[in-house]
Amino acid sequence: MTIDRRTALMSGVAALGVTLSGRLGAAEAKAAPRAARIEPVVDDYWGTMVTDNYRWMEDPKDADWLPFLETQNQRTRSVLDAIPGRKALGERISALSGDAAATMRVAPAGEWLFYQQRPVGADNFKLYVRGPDGADRVLIDPTIMKMGDAHVSLDWWEPSLDGKHIAYGLSPSGSEASVLHIMEVATGKVLPERIEKTDWGVTGWLPDGSGFFYIAFVNERGTPQFYLNSECRLHKLGTDPKTDRLMIRRGLVPGIDMDETQAAFIATSEQSSTVLIGVVDIRTEKALWTAELADILAGKFTAKKVCGFEDLVVAQAIDKDDLYLLSNKGNSRGRVVVTPANAPNLGSAREVVPEGQTVLEDLHAARDGIFVTIMDGGIQKLARLSGGKLDPIALPFDGAIDGVFTSETLDGAYVRLGGWLDPSGIWRIDSAGKASDTGINPRPPIDTSAYETKRGFATAKDGVKIPYTLLYRKGLKATGTNPVYATGYGAYQYSSTPRFMPAVLPFLDAGGVYCNANVRGGGEYGRDWHKAGQKATKANTWRDLIAVCETLVADKITSPKHLAISGTSAGGITVGRALTERPDLFAAAISDVGWTNPIRYVAEQNVADIEEWGPMVDAASFKIMYDMDAYQAIKPGTSYPAVLCVTGATDPRVAPWHVAKFAARLQAATSSKNPVLLRVDFDAGHGLGSTRTQRDALAADVYSFVLWRTGAKGFQT
């Protein structure tokens, strides 16, 4: 529920015929897209006058919007499809991704084991259930569904505690505009209830399976008000959703304070009569209360305060009568304390895991203890807390723990584990702490022995060591001419961890080097690492990426003529500001659904995310956000490198006008003949609901674009 969220649909006047000619053929130059019209709007931000030439793109009803997107995308397609090597690269990417199954999540519930998987060769994820007899069955298959002409995505799902029912959300075109459905697991019967505007899903089933708590959004989708003043409701199976009980909303429950951007949830427990009430926003921290479930259902409950946002509690787990809390207050890397669930008192809570050298990340309750995930500079580890002792779990390789899945009625845990060169799998941790591959996610027939990884550290301007990882084919030589694709994120205390990416292997085979930079703003070294790249210190994020790139140049891994950078979503700030601050350092840049115009957050659906960045309330806070605004940082007459801007037309997290305005201004401003391209997928959003075909096509476009602009053989026009 604390995910990077933003949205809208929206269009545009730059002299693209000149900008895009250069290295393109005459026929391509004739196919110039519609120029973005210039219609200046001047805003006064506490005495600072700011001009926005493309404000009209924020209006999805503007007559120029769709024609601008369509002609820009047509132009982009003509350029990308003409790159030598792109077709073969795309075919290889598709073959490799088709060989690899992907399992996102598993959930044990009663006698059932649920898992969401995109099987080998499939184009989208399906939901499966494994019964007591060990047989697997497809429960939900979006690949055979349609909403009009749009493909359907399975956004979220949550089984009842006994596994007899499952609630799930479906949406069209990767929009994440979820409609809640309910299925009877044994028969596959879909119940008649439908609940709209349930993008964040179910937060807790009643122990008897008769209903569930969920978050409902009450405002118009696509507006800046959509996520505001949400409600926590209770739905009972077989009843009309219009009669669902309102449980919590802003100002309703005495003692539970929340503002309009925050959401409240009620989480139930399998082994306790006590429930957790939480208030969350984009921050990792949360405010918590406990109450007795019977009192809540009777409508007479008293919320007992556990912690406020100022207590910096980032994770919690109920184990029968005990409430475990993971707090960063006074401990940047975290410590774990325990207090009675029905009478919580943080002040007298007993410490059970002190702060150590690595970062404590999350807690998961199982019958035989509390599983604790641990972060060490980008590599994740696992331990189990039982009997007051924290015992490490030996994992089969160093990598990323993309999920720990437990049940309070079962020993052990299921773990989704993957690495840069180790395909993701679902591993079972037994009661003895031994890890074994379940085989739920079959290992693909992909040989990774020809590749290797190398971890290094760059020195930032302030002397801080910034970790990064390189992936490449064995035998890499420091010639200064290797095509490098460097990525950085750096926001929300989310860590950039190892992940197996079949699509990157053809890029490496073409001589490319993939670089993952663990810039500040993420969570690789805990809360302090996040705060060192947030708000007033946000410049560290993009300057860390610059420092990593400068190190690669100094080490002769690459040079500016062969170096490309990329950022996705909130990483749009990272790539956008690195590009605008050091355009001389790069041959290419990719802004993938990038958040590039922060000072206009008030115009988009995902305004609830603003706590990570602002909000702007005075001249000082405006200056902080203005400094991270890549759109406003573009300077006319600057020689910018080639840029590929990517958006999905139904994106609910980063409004498409961010990317469109950024592209239009770059096209008008650059003095170089390097192309600035805008790629639009009209059947996609932020990427979470995209099909395998869509993901493969994007990967082929991005990697071929990078190889083209960085001078790789076989990709030059």
Q: Tell me the pLDDT tens digit for each residue of 554-582.
A: 999 999 999 999 999 999 999 999 999 99
- pLDDT recorded at residue 365: 98
> In the predicted model, what is the mean pLDDT of the chain?
94
Residue 707 DSSP SS3:
helix
Q: Are 560 and 593 contacting, i.e. CB atoms less than 8 angstroms apart? A: no
Q: Which domains, from first to last, does the chain contain?
A: 16-96+452-709 (3.40.50.1820), 102-268 (2.130.10.120)
Q: Are 455 and 133 contacting, i.e. CB atoms less than 8 angstroms apart? A: no
Q: Which two tokens stand for residue 395?
A: 């994992």
Q: Are 180 and 167 contacting, i.e. CB atoms less than 8 angstroms apart? A: yes
**Range of weakest confidence among 144-153, 601-610, 665-674:** 601-610
- pLDDT recorded at residue 608: 74
Q: Tell me the pLDDT tens digit for each residue of 377-391.
A: 999 999 999 999 999
DSSP-assigned letter for residue 600: G
- pLDDT recorded at residue 7: 28
Which whole number is the average pLDDT over 2-11?
27
Q: Are 669 and 635 contacting, i.e. CB atoms less than 8 angstroms apart? A: yes
- pLDDT higher than 80, residue 16: no
Please state, for a pLDDT cut of 90, what percent of the chain lies above it: 93
Which whole number is the average pLDDT over 489-512?
97
- Residue 465: Cβ within 10 Å count: 11
- pLDDT higher than 50, residue 66: yes
- pLDDT higher than 50, residue 423: yes
Burial 548-570 (b: 16+ CB within 10 A, else e): bbbbbbeeebbbbebbbbbbbbb
Q: Are 333 and 357 contacting, i.e. CB atoms less than 8 angstroms apart? A: yes
- 375 closest CA partner among 293, 495, 463: 495
**Around 362, how many Cα atoms within 13 Å sit in the side-chain half-sphere?**
16
Dist CA 566 CA 541 (whole Å): 13
- pLDDT recorded at residue 31: 52
Q: Can you give the pTM of this predicted structure? A: 0.93
More confident residue, 17 or 302: 302
Which whole number is the average pLDDT over 169-185?
96
Q: Which long-range contacts (CB under 8 A, 24 or more apart) does 381-386 make?
A: 382/415, 382/429, 384/429, 384/433, 385/324, 385/336, 385/352, 385/353
